[in-house]
């Protein structure tokens, strides 16, 4: 990094002092960063010890509840973050419209449940049964299929219309197009579906809030059915995606295109096809996250994808953008920090986003490529 | 040279003669009024503006109040041939929206008064703008106490803002007392959404309840989120008997739906006038049973029955279901119209003139005005409260008056 010093120097001696001044500035910066890091870590550790060991503000049952909230939300962030990471790896651009792709999947699942709810399927035991509850598992599977397909299609068309024509443009242009697509989809959602919030009608078997009650240190902790469904499904999808990327031919093509587009094309890979398929896969994952969001949290409206989209993007950067296990780890960690952070540090819950983003900044100060990210090669940068 | 100076003299004479045109068309009251007059030419309507959340999560308030006000406008008939018109603008219930709407309405010269705004946050941002333009406000629903307090910088109360409903200082006090005495709540957890209305109310409840019981926690939530299980888990750790929530229905619904899974099954949910309404019941379903909220109930009278019938006929829903302020909406509009009728002057040129300072004073000096929601008299600060808060609870999917 000892290149041409461009900043002014105060020493009367010329080139030698220039290099020394630059080097010492860098060293000073490094020292400050280390000192800052040590101070902040010490403070955080002290607060953690204070809350957990000394004051015992919360019992183990409350910590378990925090952990459960955090992991479920983290799983959702992880799925959406994978979408961001996949697209970044292949195209080196951030797909800001990814949150809206999730929103569309959320609506897809909503309409499936509403439609099934309206179809009567009376049985011998229950004359008021409808199709939603007659085979509840099938209804849920159907909702997921439709939600994931809607999002996959949305991702495919997004790429085709908004990103492909700008493939050769400077890097800023597709970014602006992404932001524009995001705003377009939000407003299209508002016009199509109305501004009011809608509630997911879950099958009775999976109604929100119902779950197993376990006893922890004398207090009941509820583990909701929808929460378990969400978490397990997130893990399954993440494992599925990892297997796809590592073990299949398509995955190999994706990795090749991510590594070097031109050489991959020379090796006979249809780059456009691989890119489309990447968008379809990332869209499908976002759609699954959207349907889970609806089933577990119950709220769907045109703006529902905005905040999870931003958080998931943060999670992807946190774990190392372009790195798939990084996105998973980043998502789970971010969700956990949001839930456990305010309690562990005895800070107001209103500041949970502040805590999450502050930790992001701290991590990036010391590991700019993210937790699991490798230092990017020159070409990528 | 001579022709040119003659030309100048002729031009000068023309200008002087032109300026001495026939007598000014504005009535004397307008020239003596420091803020001038609103001029409504023949054929145009006398406009009453309103800033309300008309779309989004809290749209039920804006829609309900504007509908109640429209009935008053229809009932008002016309004033010497000029009709009244309610101009509703969507301010989203936020400060930025309130300021934007205020600027828009102030630019319209035929707007003589404002019914609003509806949400306290939007109202606070709008008051300085209306104060500068001297347009009176009469809000049916903005309850934050600071709105009628003196400006911290000047020490003077604003001249234009008046309101009919109770303030949050009263609502909070009565709520805390109700919780302690009627519901026997010893441990209360307080949540709010961090905004002007919710936080203000929560703080009043906190200060009143501290002497009647224990406040186990005081937390803020971030609005517009879908998952509050972490905060609720923290609240549950202290095992409160009840939760008081200061804020609006959008977040209240999410909180109520997540009470069971965070271990707050038997905790009473006590909301405020922002969580009352049909929307709360539809979106919480069975989870909302036993929740409380604040509303106003107008005393029975022939005028109320007439209004209820008119509202039902025009809009298909009974008054007071979408929001607690339907009757206040009618009263505020009708009161403003009565002041306009008292101060408006028909000018010689066929236009209607409404002196602005006279309007502002007229609204501030409303005295013994017979409204549907009660009789109100405005004091020097603009408080015209006609009735105190009444508590409602959800029973069998309906809002019913809670036992007194």
pTM of the model as a whole: 0.80
Q: Across the interface, do B233 and A65 touch by the CB < 8 Å criterion?
A: yes
SS3 (DSSP) at B225: coil
d(CA B289, CA A231): 30
Q: What is the pLDDT of residue A101?
A: 96
DSSP code of A268? Answer: T
d(CA A102, CA A286): 5
Give tens-digit pLDDT for B381-402.
888 886 778 899 999 988 888 8
Q: Mean pLDDT highest for which of A44-48, A181-185, A197-201, B164-168? A: A181-185
Q: Across the interface, do A65 and B221 touch by the CB < 8 Å criterion?
A: no
Cβ atoms of A374 and A325 within 8 Å: the answer is no
Q: What is the pLDDT of residue B386?
A: 66
The residue written with tokens 């509820």 in the block is A222
Give which of A145, A162, A147, A170 is closest to A87, Cα–Cα: A162
- Considering only residues 288 to 307 of chain A, which have any Cβ-Cβ distance to chain B shorter than 8 Å? 293, 297-299, 303-304, 307
Cβ atoms of B281 and B394 within 8 Å: the answer is yes
Q: Across the interface, do A58 and B237 touch by the CB < 8 Å criterion?
A: yes
Q: What is the pLDDT of residue A124?
A: 67
Strands B375-376 and B369-370, bridge-based pairing: antiparallel
Q: What is the pLDDT of residue B176?
A: 93
Give domain status of residue A13, yes or no. no
Strands A211-216 and A219-224, bridge-based pairing: antiparallel
- Asked if A338 has any chain B CB less than 8 Å from its own CB, the reply is yes
The CB density around residue A306, as the number of other CB atoms within 10 Å, is 16
d(CA A228, CA A246): 27
Burial B117-131 (b: 16+ CB within 10 A, else e): bbbbbbbbbbbebbb
Partners of residue A227 in chain B, C-beta under 8 Å: 261
Q: Across the interface, do A209 and B56 touch by the CB < 8 Å criterion?
A: no
- The CATH number of residue A154's host domain is 1.10.3470
d(CA A11, CA A7): 12
Average pLDDT in the B288-294 region?
Answer: 92
Q: What is the pLDDT of residue A13?
A: 54
pLDDT higher than 90, residue B143:
no
Residue B203 host element (H or E) = helix B196-209
Give tens-digit pLDDT for B73-131.
999 888 888 899 999 999 988 899 999 999 999 999 999 999 989 999 999 999 999 99
Give tens-digit pLDDT for B239-255.
999 999 999 998 999 99
Cβ atoms of A102 and A151 within 8 Å: the answer is yes
Q: What is the pLDDT of residue B42?
A: 87
Lowest mean pLDDT among A49-63, A331-345, B235-249, B344-358: A49-63
Partners of residue B224 in chain A, C-beta under 8 Å: 303, 307
pLDDT higher than 80, residue A321:
yes
Give tens-digit pLDDT for B296-347.
777 788 888 999 999 999 998 888 888 888 999 999 999 999 999 999 888 8
Residue B162: beta bridge partners? B138
Partners of residue A62 in chain B, C-beta under 8 Å: 233-234, 236-237
Average pLDDT in the B153-178 region?
Answer: 89
Number of H helices, E strands in chain B: 13, 18
- Asked if B15 has any chain A CB less than 8 Å from its own CB, the reply is no
Strands B137-139 and B161-163, bridge-based pairing: parallel
Domains and CATH numbers, chain B: 37-166+300-388 (3.40.50.2300), 168-295 (3.40.50.2300)
Percent of chain B with pLDDT over 70: 97
User: How wide is the angle at C-alpha A94 spanned by C-alphas A89 and A96, nearest 5°?
Assistant: 145
Q: Across the interface, do B57 and A222 touch by the CB < 8 Å criterion?
A: no
- Residue in chain B closest to A221 (alpha carbons) equals B263
Exposed / middle / buried, residue B79 (Cβ in 10 Å: 0-12, 13-18, 19+): middle
Nearest to B283 among A199, A220, A349 (CB): A199
Lowest mean pLDDT among A54-63, A184-193, B290-299, B329-338: A54-63
- Asked if A350 has any chain B CB less than 8 Å from its own CB, the reply is yes
The residue written with tokens 């200082």 in the block is B169
Q: Across the interface, do A69 and B230 touch by the CB < 8 Å criterion?
A: yes
Lowest mean pLDDT among B16-30, B60-74, B276-290: B16-30
d(CA B130, CA B122): 12
Residue B89 host element (H or E) = strand B82-90
The CB density around residue B61, as the number of other CB atoms within 10 Å, is 29
SS3 (DSSP) at A107: helix
- Asked if A66 has any chain B CB less than 8 Å from its own CB, the reply is yes
Q: What is the pLDDT of residue B18?
A: 64
Higher pLDDT, A130 or A312: A312
- Asked if A57 has any chain B CB less than 8 Å from its own CB, the reply is yes
The mean pLDDT of chain A is 86
The residue written with tokens 């041409």 in the block is A4
Give domain status of residue A361, yes or no. yes
Q: What is the pLDDT of residue A63?
A: 87
Give domain status of residue A124, yes or no. yes
Give domain status of residue A201, yes or no. yes
Q: How confident is the model at residue A370 (pLDDT cuts 50, 70, 90)?
A: confident
Q: Across the interface, do A298 and B257 touch by the CB < 8 Å criterion?
A: yes
SS3 (DSSP) at A47: helix
Question: Count of domains in chain A?
Answer: 1
Q: What is the pLDDT of residue B127?
A: 93
d(CA A38, CA A43): 9
Q: Is the dihedral of CA A368, A369, A374, A380 positive or negative?
A: negative
pLDDT higher than 70, residue A377:
no
- Considering only residues 55 to 84 of chain B, which have any Cβ-Cβ distance to chain A shorter than 8 Å? 55-57, 59
Cβ atoms of B324 and B292 within 8 Å: the answer is no
Q: What is the pLDDT of residue A308?
A: 92
Q: What is the pLDDT of residue B146?
A: 87
Q: Across the interface, do A62 and B233 touch by the CB < 8 Å criterion?
A: yes
Nearest to B237 among A62, A208, A338 (CB): A62
The structure tokens listed for A274 are: 């691989």
Give domain status of residue A171, yes or no. yes
Give which of A9, A29, A6, A31 is closest to A20, Cα–Cα: A9
Q: How confident is the model at residue A81 (pLDDT cuts 50, 70, 90)?
A: very high
Residue B138 host element (H or E) = strand B137-139
Q: What is the pLDDT of residue A312?
A: 93
Give tens-digit pLDDT for B32-83.
888 888 888 888 899 999 999 988 778 888 999 999 999 999 998 888 888 9
The mean pLDDT of chain B is 88
Q: What is the pLDDT of residue A379?
A: 37
DSSP code of A373? Answer: P
Give domain status of residue A333, yes or no. yes
Q: What is the CA radius of gyration of chain B?
A: 25
Q: What is the pLDDT of residue B123?
A: 94
Give domain status of residue A51, yes or no. no
Average pLDDT in the A350-363 region?
Answer: 84
Q: How confident is the model at residue A171 (pLDDT cuts 50, 70, 90)?
A: confident
Q: What is the pLDDT of residue B9?
A: 81
Q: What is the pLDDT of residue A380?
A: 40
The C-alpha of A260 sits at a distance from chain B's nearest C-alpha, in angstroms, of 40
The C-alpha of A194 sits at a distance from chain B's nearest C-alpha, in angstroms, of 9
d(CA A381, CA B172): 57
Q: What is the pLDDT of residue A18?
A: 67
Domain limits at A217? 58-366
Q: Across the interface, do A208 and B257 touch by the CB < 8 Å criterion?
A: yes
Partners of residue A55 in chain B, C-beta under 8 Å: none
pLDDT higher than 50, residue A381:
no
pLDDT higher than 60, residue B376:
yes
Partners of residue A348 in chain B, C-beta under 8 Å: 219-220
ipTM: 0.81
d(CA A86, CA A95): 10
d(CA B286, CA B395): 10
Partners of residue B219 in chain A, C-beta under 8 Å: 348-350
């Amino acid at each position: 990094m000892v290149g041409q010093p461009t900043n002014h120097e105060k020493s009367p001696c010329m080139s030698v002092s220039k290099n020394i001044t630059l080097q010492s500035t860098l060293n000073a910066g490094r020292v400050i960063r280390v000192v800052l890091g040590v101070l902040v870590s010490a403070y955080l550790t002290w607060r953690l010890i204070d809350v957990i060991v000394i004051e015992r503000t919360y019992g183990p049952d409350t910590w378990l509840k925090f952990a459960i909230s955090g992991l479920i939300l983290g799983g959702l962030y992880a799925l959406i973050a994978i979408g961001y990471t996949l697209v970044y790896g292949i195209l080196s651009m951030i797909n800001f419209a990814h949150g809206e792709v999730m929103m569309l999947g959320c609506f897809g699942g909503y309409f499936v449940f509403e439609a099934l709810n309206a179809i009567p399927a009376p049985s011998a035991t229950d004359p008021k049964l409808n199709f939603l509850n007659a085979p509840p598992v099938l209804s849920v599977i159907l909702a997921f299929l439709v939600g994931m397909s809607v999002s996959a299609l949305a991702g495919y068309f997004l790429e085709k219309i908004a990103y492909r024509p700008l493939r050769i443009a400077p890097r800023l242009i597709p970014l602006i197009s992404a932001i524009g697509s995001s705003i377009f989809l939000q407003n299209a959602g508002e016009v199509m579906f109305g501004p009011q919030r809608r509630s997911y009608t879950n099958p009775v078997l999976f109604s929100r809030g119902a779950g197993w009650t376990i006893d922890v240190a004398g207090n009941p902790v509820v583990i909701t059915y929808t929460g378990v469904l969400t978490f397990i499904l997130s893990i399954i999808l993440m494992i599925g995606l990892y297997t796809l990327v590592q073990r299949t031919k398509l995955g190999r093509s994706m990795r090749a295109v991510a590594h070097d587009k031109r050489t991959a094309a020379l090796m006979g890979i249809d780059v456009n096809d691989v890119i489309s398929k990447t968008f379809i896969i990332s869209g499908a994952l976002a759609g699954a996250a959207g349907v889970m969001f609806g089933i577990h949290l119950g709220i769907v409206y045109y703006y529902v994808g905005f905040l999870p989209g931003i958080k998931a993007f943060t999670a992807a950067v946190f774990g190392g953008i372009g790195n798939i296990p990084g996105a998973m780890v980043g998502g789970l960690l971010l969700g956990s920090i949001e839930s456990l952070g305010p309690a562990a540090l005895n800070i107001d819950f209103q500041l949970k986003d502040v805590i999450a983003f502050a930790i992001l900044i701290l991590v990036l100060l010391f590991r700019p490529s993210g937790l699991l990210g490798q230092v990017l090669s020159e070409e990528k940068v | 040279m001579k022709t040119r100076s003659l030309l100048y003299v002729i031009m000068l004479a023309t200008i002087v003669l032109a300026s001495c045109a026939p007598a000014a068309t504005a009535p004397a009251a307008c020239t003596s009024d420091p803020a001038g007059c609103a001029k409504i030419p023949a054929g145009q309507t006398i406009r009453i503006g309103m800033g309300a959340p008309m779309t989004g999560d809290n749209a039920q308030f804006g829609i309900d109040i504007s509908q109640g006000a429209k009935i008053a406008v229809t009932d008002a008939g016309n004033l010497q041939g000029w009709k009244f018109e309610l101009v509703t603008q969507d301010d989203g219930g936020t400060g930025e929206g309130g300021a934007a709407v205020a600027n828009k309405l102030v630019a319209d010269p035929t707007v003589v008064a404002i019914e609003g705004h509806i949400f306290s946050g939007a109202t606070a941002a709008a008051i300085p703008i209306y104060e500068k333009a001297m347009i009176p406000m009469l809000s049916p629903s903005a309850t934050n106490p600071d709105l009628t307090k003196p400006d911290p910088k000047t020490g003077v109360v604003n001249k234009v803002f008046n309101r009919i409903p109770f303030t949050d200082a009263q609502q909070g006090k009565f709520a805390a007392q109700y919780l302690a005495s009627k519901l026997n709540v010893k441990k209360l957890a307080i949540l709010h959404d961090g905004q002007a209305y919710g936080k203000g109310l929560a703080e009043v409840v906190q200060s009143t309840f501290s002497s009647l019981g224990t406040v186990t926690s005081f937390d803020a939530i971030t609005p517009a989120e879908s998952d509050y299980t972490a905060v609720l888990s923290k609240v549950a750790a202290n095992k409160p008997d009840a939760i008081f929530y200061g804020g609006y229905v959008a977040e209240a619904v999410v909180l109520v739906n997540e009470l069971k899974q965070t271990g707050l099954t038997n905790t009473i949910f006590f909301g405020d006038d922002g969580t009352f309404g049909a929307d709360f019941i539809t979106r919480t379903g069975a989870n909302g049973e036993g929740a409380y909220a604040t509303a106003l109930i107008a005393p029975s009278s022939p005028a109320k029955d007439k209004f209820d019938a008119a509202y039902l006929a025009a809009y298909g829903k009974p008054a007071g279901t979408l929001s607690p302020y339907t009757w206040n909406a009618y009263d505020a509009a009708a009161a403003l119209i009565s002041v306009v009728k008292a101060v408006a002057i028909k000018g010689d040129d066929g236009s209607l003139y409404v002196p602005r300072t006279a309007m502002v004073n007229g609204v501030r000096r409303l005295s013994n005005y017979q409204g549907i929601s009660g009789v109100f008299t405005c004091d020097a600060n603009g408080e015209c409260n006609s009735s105190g808060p009444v508590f409602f609870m959800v029973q069998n999917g309906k809002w019913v008056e809670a036992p007194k």
